[in-house]
Amino acid sequence: MPELEAQERRLVLRGFAHEDAWHLGSLLVELARLRHAPVAVDIRRGPQQLFHCALPRSSADNDAWIDRKRRVVERYAESSYLVGARFRAKGTTFEESSRLDPGDYAAHGGSFPITVEGAGVVGSVTVSGLPQAEDHALVVEALERFISVGRTEAATH
């Protein structure tokens, strides 16, 4: 869990505009295609969907998972994977103890808060289609690359 918490502290953006969603989403799609990953990708700023792509072998079920994981980020302002890990660390599960409808919320890996310096959590980036640890890792990898390389270069390298 300390590693998940460290990711959240480290992966903070200076800003996040509509164009940034396109670059981050394109980077995620590129990384997923290189792995032949059957995922759907979703990026939101507040309630507005700024980016969505469904790759081959993904399905409408992935979109439903995206919505459920994204709602966890919106409610807790932390990654869906970290929220699930916190419940497991207490010896329970999110489904058993959150008192939230599991049809609407899923604390499974793959949704990460978009946090902006001075503004806090402004949105979410979500992947669905792989095992939860891999969904989470794909989002983290993309955010790390997006931050370190810069939005324009990250989408083309």
Q: What is the pLDDT of residues 104-130, one digit of tens each?
A: 999 999 999 999 999 999 999 999 999
For the chain, domains (ranges, CATH) are 2-154 (3.30.450.150)
d(CA 24, CA 8) in angstroms, rounded, equals: 17
d(CA 151, CA 129) in angstroms, rounded, equals: 24
Tell me the residue length of the chain: 157
pTM metric for this prediction: 0.93
Q: Give exposure, 49-69, as e/b (b: 16+ Cβ within 10 Å).
A: ebbebbbeebeeebbebbbbb
Q: What is the pLDDT of residues 45-94, one digit of tens each?
A: 999 999 999 999 999 999 999 999 999 999 999 999 999 999 999 999 99
